[in-house]
Chains A and B, each alone.
Chain A
């Protein structure tokens, strides 16, 4: 499978614990995005990387959230001291920058986080 891969698919954690999600983008895609989606809503942009550089962060990304893409390939999203409000689907997407116009973004299946 050459699509965007996310791991784990589901995560249940106790409030206050730290969690980390992983995203493997489509090979050679230089852009990687993280979104959060709650039930009945559209995805909300969190942050994105161009290669290893994190270029933009949404106001939604509190200081408990940190994302990395150390070698410009896979990315991790960590949430520290989880709260019940963090329960959501966390989606990763990747795209290939080029051609002077925005490139289409391909999404992974998402990681569903439940904080109890």
Chain B
């Protein structure tokens, strides 16, 4: 099955600086890579995703890059703010036999605790 590795486990940056979180995946069939932000006591919230037919996607201060050859993808947050402090999870999904294009189940990394220092 799919295996997703995420680094670092903890990342502390000064407010205003950039943060980068990296993930690798094992299954070359994976074609959907979402990133989730989880705050204490809440469920994961989708912040950005990327499909395998594109190499980069940006949404305001957040960007994700994908290198299919190397099987890794990264989350970039620029101009970090205190409210960016949370646990971030990367995930990968493989097209299923029955899905007709749907995500059968996401395999998550272990998470990165991002701390924004004021």
Give the B-binding residues of A (Cβ under 8 A).
Answer: 4, 31, 33, 35, 40-45, 48, 50, 55-56, 58, 91, 93, 95, 97-110
Q: In the complex, which residues 24-43 of chain B have their Cβ closer than 8 Å to any Cβ of chain A? A: 31-32, 34, 36, 41-43
| Closest chain B residue to A98, Cβ basis | B101
Which 5 pairs show the lowest CB-CB distances between chains A and B?
A42-B108, A102-B103, A45-B105, A107-B43, A97-B102
CB–CB A102/B43 < 8 A: no
Which residues of B sit under 8 angstroms from A97, Cβ to Cβ? 99-102
- B104 lies within 8 A of chain A by Cβ: yes
- Asked if A43 and B108 make an inter-chain contact with CB atoms under 8 angstroms apart, the answer reads yes
Return the chain A residue nearest B43 by Cβ: A107
Pairwise interchain contact B105-A102, C-beta atoms closer than 8 A: no
Query: Is B106 part of the contact surface with A, judged by Cβ < 8 Å?
Result: yes
In the complex, A55→B98 CA distance in Å? 8
**Quick one: closest A residue to B98, CB to CB?**
A55
- A42 x B49 contact (CB < 8 A): no
Which residues from A are CB-within-8-Å of B32? Answer: 101-102
A7 to B: closest C-beta gap in Å: 13
- Determine how close the nearest CB of chain B comes to the CB of A13; give it in whole angstroms: 20
Q: What are 24 A-B interface contacts by the 8 Å CB criterion?
A: A31-B102, A40-B111, A41-B111, A42-B6, A45-B105, A48-B105, A50-B102, A55-B96, A55-B99, A56-B104, A58-B105, A91-B43, A97-B100, A101-B32, A101-B101, A102-B32, A102-B101, A103-B102, A105-B34, A105-B46, A107-B43, A107-B45, A109-B42, A110-B43
What CA separation (Å) do A42 and B43 show in the bound complex? 11
Complex Cα gap A74–B111 (Å): 29
Name B95's closest neighbour in chain A (CB-CB). Answer: A102
